[in-house]
Structure 1
């Protein structure tokens, strides 16, 4: 039989009483915690600073065409240089006219010789035909005369075609400007043997100008179609101009991870000449690009949302707000719709919140 002292009995009894009181104490603690505003980490939704970067570029002609001769020959003169303005009908380059004239003379001589052979073959055929009617010539002779007549007639026809080609080449010995424009580049030097259709120089329309910039792949994924840009001239005192995205190259430069953008300038002044160096930045005021950390996204993949911070009756609480997501940029994601810039959004602990739950004050 085990004897228990009074002190021991009181100790055991106290433990029992304490043990019986634990569940009630836990409930009181849980109630107190539920009344305590939950601390969270948040940030105000704003335009992503990445889109505020400036990108270097150059002004190019919007309508660029390569000019070429329609005939082959040796380039005799090239009367324009890169950057020069030209007018419609102005002679830009010429081929060696002496060589072209010689080609015409050679072709004319070939026609005369071929025609003489054709005439002689025809007379030979007529003579053999007369002899055959008198039973003096043989069938083999008339067949040979006929074949010779046909062959020489074909040679004469070919020679006349060569003459027409030489005469046409002589007429196309000058390369003229099809319209007013600016010469962008010259690709050959005098003395070079050029072929038909091979570009000799590039000319651009002076009125149609665009800015060419290269941007990171991550930036290209964020900006919307027809995005607005602000283009700034490198010279001091020249005002900036507005531009609109017209084309994004479909293939990225894998070595630099960049994409080329073409921006159409809107009413640019004369200072923005073709070849001018510029810098361009995305006009976030026209269409702000807002991002949040991926940790701020709650809900499900099919129905994503964020916890928006609202205030009422002097307290702060969270409200679940559905959003539409865009491209991911590193550890952040673009918010395309659902919340406006300036809204406070919870960015950490989003999976532990409940709609309407009170949260603590934002600390500076």
Structure 2
């Protein structure tokens, strides 16, 4: 038995001392890896309804308060500069003008008396029949009377202006998009009674969802026409009620509707509901001007063992890593950017934590040399 045991041990030792190339292939054998395709992130397109607005929409209001006597216009009516829109009851304004005229007449009479007294006192003063103090008092009284006359004249002019302000006129050519004042209504100074859309350029007002920042440009879809839009302004915050961004877009220079203030033949009348199209920034990946392009890769392809995130690809049958910047992690994809990324590029998609530089690897879908 002892001889048999010794023989078996010797056999086992000799079997372990065979050709190392038979088992050493584990150190040099190509590793089969799964790869994934790099795809560029394209901006999603969103279609929204918009409303045609005038570039300038001005509230029309009286410069004086009073009761509306007449209404000369209706909503949707076209007006030219100077057309009468409303009038106020002028009774109180006329009385104010009459009172200011009477006040002016009284001030003029007082000033005439003061000037006459001053001229008489000047002659007496030259003959030493009047003291210096009395002459100075007469001089000051004349100046005071002149000042009171000037003030009364200014008040009369204000009363005249107020009577003219009782007639509200259109401040420019345009279209009345809203008329709210009614005869008998008492209005305060500055209270809007109409809204005038001035003749001139038209814009498109669009409400964007709160998670979509209004882009800088877009398109107005009008039948078969495509009119370029350029953002002019956007609200400073999301509307609390509608949870939307309000943005205004002007028609781009040279567009076919730019010089048609009423959109005749193009369906661009004020208040018209139109269709718009925009390319929006991908949610969660804000891309500023001149920002690097984003690419979508399998999330498991991102290797973060080193100083920063990196991807691996196969170069001449060996694994090679290159640095990337991660913009966003999705459920099964990652948005990354990097100088070596390109559309259609294949990267190692699984097991990147087991890779080492220059490790021999072969994609699972690539044939082996002995299979070719």
Same fold (TM over 0.5): yes
**Corresponding pairs, count:** 335
**Are the counterparts in 2 of residues 78 and 93 from structure 1 also a CA contact under 8 Å?**
yes
In the superposition, relative to structure 1, how do residues 27 and 308 fare at CA in structure 2: closer, same or farther (>3 Å)? closer
Pairs within 5 Å for 1:68-217:
68-69=61-62, 71-74=63-66, 75-133=68-126, 135-186=128-179, 191-195=185-189, 200-205=193-198, 208-216=201-209
In the superposition, relative to structure 1, how do residues 324 and 89 fare at CA in structure 2: closer, same or farther (>3 Å)? farther
Q: Where is the helix percentage greater, Structure 1 or Structure 2?
A: 1
In the superposition, relative to structure 1, how do residues 88 and 126 fare at CA in structure 2: closer, same or farther (>3 Å)? closer
TM-score of the superposition, structure 2-length normalised? 0.67
What residue in structure 1 maps to residue 231 of structure 2?
A: 246
In the superposition, relative to structure 1, how do residues 12 and 193 fare at CA in structure 2: closer, same or farther (>3 Å)? same
What is the deviation of 1:105? 1.9
**Are the counterparts in 2 of residues 243 and 263 from structure 1 also a CA contact under 8 Å?**
no
Q: Secondary structure at the residue paired with 2:93?
A: helix
What residue in structure 2 maps to residue 61 of structure 1?
A: 54
**Are the counterparts in 2 of residues 217 and 252 from structure 1 also a CA contact under 8 Å?**
no
TM-score of the superposition, structure 1-length normalised? 0.69
Q: Residue 47 of structure 1 is aligned with which of 31, 38, 42?
A: 42
The answer for unaligned runs of 5 or more in structure 1 is: 233-237
In the superposition, relative to structure 1, how do residues 272 and 139 fare at CA in structure 2: closer, same or farther (>3 Å)? same
The answer for unaligned runs of 5 or more in structure 2 is: 258-264, 281-292, 367-372
In the superposition, relative to structure 1, how do residues 117 and 308 fare at CA in structure 2: closer, same or farther (>3 Å)? farther
In the superposition, relative to structure 1, how do residues 301 and 92 fare at CA in structure 2: closer, same or farther (>3 Å)? farther
In the superposition, relative to structure 1, how do residues 193 and 118 fare at CA in structure 2: closer, same or farther (>3 Å)? farther
**Are the counterparts in 2 of residues 317 and 359 from structure 1 also a CA contact under 8 Å?**
no
User: How far, CA to CA, are the matches of 2:197 and 2:248 in structure 1?
Assistant: 15
User: How far, CA to CA, are the matches of 1:211 and 1:319 in structure 2?
Assistant: 51
What residue in structure 1 maps to residue 296 of structure 2?
A: 292
What residue in structure 2 maps to residue 361 of structure 1?
A: 365
Q: Secondary structure at the residue paired with 1:183?
A: strand
